[in-house]
Amino acid sequence: MSTEAPIYGLLAEFETPEELVEAVRRARGAGYRKMDAYTPFPIDGLAEELGFHENRLPLVVLIGGLVGCAGGFLLQYWISAIDYPLNIGGRPLNSWPAFIPVTFELTILVAALSAVLGMLGLNGLPMPYHPLFNSPRFALASRNRFFLCIEAADRRFNRESTANFLSELKPKGISEVSSA
Amino acid sequence: MSQEIIGPGHTYATVTDKISSIVLTRKTSLGWLAAFGIAFMFVMLLFYAVTYLFVEGIGIWGVNVPVAWGFAIINFVWWIGIGHAGTLISAILLLLRQEWRTSINRFAEAMTLFAVACAGLFPILHLGRPWFAYWLIPYPSTMDIWPQFRSPLVWDVFAVSTYATVSLLFWYVGLIPDLATLRDRSSSRFGRVVYGILAMGWRGSAIHWYRYDTAYLLLAGLATPLVVSVHTVVSFDFAISILPGWHTTIFPPYFVAGAIYSGFAMVMVLSIPIRAVYGLEDFITLRHLQNMAKVMLATGLIVAYGYLMENFMSWYGAVQYDRFTTLNRWIGPYAPVYWALIVFNVLIPQVLWFKRVRTNVMSLWLVAMAVNIGMWLERFVIVITSLHRDYLPSSWSMYYPTVWDWATYAGTIGLFLALLFLFLRFLPMISIFEMRTLVPKSEAE
């Protein structure tokens, strides 16, 4: 292995999700923290194995929904009762039951937009370039292979020892991911 | 075998390759070109009809007082109803953990988008001065006036535009991982760049997947009440008025059931030929078709109950105008349309009770086609018969569609199919990443 150029991390390739989950569990046990797993479909419990617990997305969506709801109602109230009041036979200006459909639609609209933009934002997407795309094997992460990448930024990372550790997990292959 | 939702012998790799190869293959088949060409001709017909409409005004259509709502509203309700099955399949069946939805949801969502696009055209064309359509949006204008939020027609603007937006988001979020697959498997630089931009750098990180699942589930939870609300609001366009035959409380549930009914029929009409042409019998199996047939049967019965209650209430309500409207539907000048609707929508679909019919692809297709026609006739009966003879006999009149009504309608069918063919050619019609999760463990590799 060359030790000249800086690398992003070491990438181990597995054939089944079970092997990957087991590898992540053992890497956590060995003290590695800066790592991520890459899979062609979502695998239950994998994020938890990686030590990922916070999930702020539901809160983002809740806030979005409340903003849509309040904004939608206030828009109609302000227009119908304050800025452009129409006196039609003395009927109430704040005819709130008639405002419910639009309030509801705007609640859904803003909540849905928050769900999508929140998911992308928290995931740091769009990110068209990423060091992992330097690895030729990585294209299979969107087909049928399961990858574990221990990043060079990890405190315990060492090219030799980490590579040895990964090979103990019996992956199908290990490769270095260049950082540039 | 017929009970499977995925054919035997498939692995992660074969599922991926099979579905993505339909898109990534270099050669465009002659059959696709011919089909797209025919659909495109109808798109040109639509442009022609719409241009003439803009030049001449809506006098070229058959609408006039008292029937001011003609084909435009019939087609609007018909198209938007068809869209509902896509959201139902992708959102409600996801929440109900119906795994069989997986191979048809992408396709049904695309169908929703294109149907909503066709539906959205009609109210705008119908405006008379369509270039002022933006007046429907509340914005601080120099005229210092605002939309009337107590009108169901303004509710409709919000319902349909929200529905279109959320359907698009749902569809696109579902596509992101598959776009990444296409990016990684495309052999041309152009394909890699285009699919790469659309995939936004998706790399399948476990943490990304975690948030992705959360977002997808929340979107499904939001889309479920939305889909119910959209056709409810559409039915308010009628039910809030005081016209006999429209002013009934049964309209919202009966419209929603009818929407799902027609939508599943359209999914069936489209998916049966597509699975044969693209050889996808392993992914869209007989079990899918049977399940869709059962949903059609159930919602069809709800719709039939709606017809029954409409008739019952017009008698039980003892309002002479309501009774007249019902009698006018039975034996009036549009009676053939009414009875055709009963045959297509109520009688023919009863054959779905028999397993022999549900397992026969050809008969399923014919029943689904009958339902599509029936649902269009239903909207014709609702819109036209109530309007053409209302309270004042001196203003009674007949409605006859003109060639421009038909041209616009046929044009939107062309637009719908043309968009669908483009989708089949350039995007994966089945959700690849969700199909991978269906691969049995022993067969994985």
CB A119 to CB B13 under 8 A?
Answer: no
CB B436 to CB A115 under 8 A?
Answer: no
Query: Where residue B305 sits, what CATH number does that domain have?
Result: 1.20.1630.10
Query: What strands, in cross-sheet order, belong to the sheet with A7-14?
Result: A35-38, A146-151, A7-14, A173-178
CB B149 to CB A76 under 8 A?
Answer: yes
pLDDT on residue B285: 84
Residue in chain B lying closest to A146 (CA) = B204
CB A108 to CB B201 under 8 A?
Answer: no
On whether residue B398 sits in a domain, the answer given is: yes
pLDDT band at B445 (very low <50, low <70, confident <90, very high): very low
CB A128 to CB B197 under 8 A?
Answer: yes
**Domain identity same for A77 and A100:** yes
For residue A109, give the nearest of B165, B207, B225 by CB distance. Answer: B165
On whether residue A78 sits in a domain, the answer given is: yes
Final residue in a domain of this structure, among A78, A100, A122: A122
CB B203 to CB A37 under 8 A?
Answer: no
Q: Which has the higher per-residue pLDDT, B96 or B343? A: B343
Segments forming the whole domain that contains residue B257: 12-443
For residue A16, give the nearest of B158, B159, B444 by CB distance. Answer: B444
pLDDT on residue B235: 92
pLDDT on residue A16: 85
On whether residue A2 sits in a domain, the answer given is: no
Q: Which of B178, B430, B100 is nearest to A40 (CA)?
A: B178
- In terms of phi and psi (left: phi > 0; alpha: psi -120 to 50; beta: otherwise), the region of B245 is left
pLDDT on residue B330: 94
On whether residue B53 sits in a domain, the answer given is: yes
Residues of B in contact with A15 (CB under 8 A): 445
Q: Which of B174, B311, B391, B302 is nearest to A115 (CA)?
A: B174
Query: In this model, does residue B436 exceed pLDDT 70?
Result: yes
pLDDT on residue B442: 47
CB B210 to CB A55 under 8 A?
Answer: yes
Residue in chain B lying closest to A14 (CA) = B445
Residues of A in contact with B233 (CB under 8 A): 101, 105
Least confident of B361-370, B379-388, B431-440: B431-440
On whether residue B210 sits in a domain, the answer given is: yes
Query: In this model, does residue A1 exceed pLDDT 80?
Result: no
Give the list of residues 6+ apart from residue A52 with CB closer than 8 angstroms, or none: B206, B207, B210
For residue A115, give the nearest of B150, B206, B219 by CB distance. Answer: B219
CB A115 to CB B209 under 8 A?
Answer: no
**Domain identity same for A118 and A32:** no
The total of structural domains in chain B comes to 1
**Domain identity same for A112 and A75:** yes
Predicted complex ipTM: 0.90
Query: Where residue A20 sits, what CATH number does that domain have?
Result: 3.30.70
What is the C-alpha to C-alpha distance for residues B413 and A24, in angstroms, rounded to an integer?
A: 52
pLDDT on residue B1: 37
On whether residue B5 sits in a domain, the answer given is: no
**Domain identity same for A50 and A133:** yes
**Domain identity same for A13 and A50:** yes
CB A141 to CB B203 under 8 A?
Answer: yes
pLDDT on residue B119: 93
**Residue A11 bridge partners (DSSP):** A149, A175
Q: What is the pLDDT of residues B74-91, one digit of tens each?
A: 999 999 999 888 888 888
Residues of A in contact with B173 (CB under 8 A): 116, 119
pLDDT on residue A177: 80
Segments forming the whole domain that contains residue A26: 7-54+129-178
**Domain identity same for A72 and A20:** no
Q: Min CA distance, A108 vs chain B (Å)?
A: 6
What is the DSSP annotation of chain A?
---SS-EEEEEEEESSHHHHHHHHHHHHHTT--SEEEE-SS--TTHHHHTT-----HHHHHHHHHHHHHHHHHHHHHIIIIIIS---STT--S--GGGGHHHHHHHHHHHHHHHHHHHHHHHTT------GGGGSGGGGGGGTT-EEEEEETTSTT--HHHHHHHHHHT--SEEEEEE--
Query: In this model, does residue A17 exceed pLDDT 70?
Result: yes
**Domain identity same for A153 and A164:** yes
Percent of chain B's residues with pLDDT above 70: 98
Least confident of A61-65, A87-91, B32-36, B102-106: B102-106
Average pLDDT over residues B321-326: 91
Query: In this model, does residue B117 exceed pLDDT 70?
Result: yes
For residue A105, give the nearest of B162, B223, B445 by CB distance. Answer: B162
What is the C-alpha to C-alpha distance for residues B408 and B347, in angstroms, rounded to an integer?
A: 30
pLDDT band at A180 (very low <50, low <70, confident <90, very high): low
**Domain identity same for A89 and A172:** no
pLDDT band at B258 (very low <50, low <70, confident <90, very high): very high
On whether residue A118 sits in a domain, the answer given is: yes
Residues of B in contact with A130 (CB under 8 A): 201, 203
Average pLDDT over residues A64-84: 94
Q: Min CA distance, A30 vs chain B (Å)?
A: 19
Q: Min CA distance, A164 vs chain B (Å)?
A: 23
Final residue in a domain of this structure, among A75, A107, A122: A122
What is the C-alpha to C-alpha distance for residues B47 and B53, in angstroms, rounded to an integer?
A: 10
Amino acid at A80: S
**Domain identity same for A50 and A136:** yes
For residue A125, give the nearest of B144, B201, B225 by CB distance. Answer: B201
For residue A36, give the nearest of B145, B172, B205 by CB distance. Answer: B205
Mean pLDDT of chain B: 89
Final residue in a domain of this structure, among A122, A141, A161: A122
CB B436 to CB A141 under 8 A?
Answer: no
Radius of gyration of chain B (CA): 23
Least confident of A130-134, B234-238, B248-252, B269-273: A130-134
pLDDT on residue B2: 40
Residues of B in contact with A87 (CB under 8 A): none
Contact predicate B114/B86, CB 8 Å: no
CB B225 to CB A47 under 8 A?
Answer: no
The total of structural domains in chain A comes to 2
- CB B421: neighbour CB atoms within 10 A? 18
pLDDT band at B444 (very low <50, low <70, confident <90, very high): very low
pLDDT on residue A4: 60
**Domain identity same for A137 and A112:** no
CB A50 to CB B209 under 8 A?
Answer: no
Phi, psi of A33, deg, nearest 5? -120, -45
- Measured in whole angstroms, how far is the alpha carbon of residue B118 from the centre of its chain? 9
Residue in chain A lying closest to B183 (CA) = A139
- Measured in whole angstroms, how far is the alpha carbon of residue A61 from the centre of its chain? 14
Mean pLDDT of chain A: 86
Percent of chain A's residues with pLDDT above 70: 97
A-B CB pairs within 8 A amount to 190
Percent of chain B's residues with pLDDT above 90: 51
On whether residue A63 sits in a domain, the answer given is: yes
Q: Which has the higher per-residue pLDDT, B410 or B100? A: B410
Average pLDDT over residues A136-151: 84
Query: In this model, does residue B346 exceed pLDDT 90?
Result: yes
pLDDT on residue B118: 93
On whether residue A1 sits in a domain, the answer given is: no
What is the C-alpha to C-alpha distance for residues A93 and A87, in angstroms, rounded to an integer?
A: 7
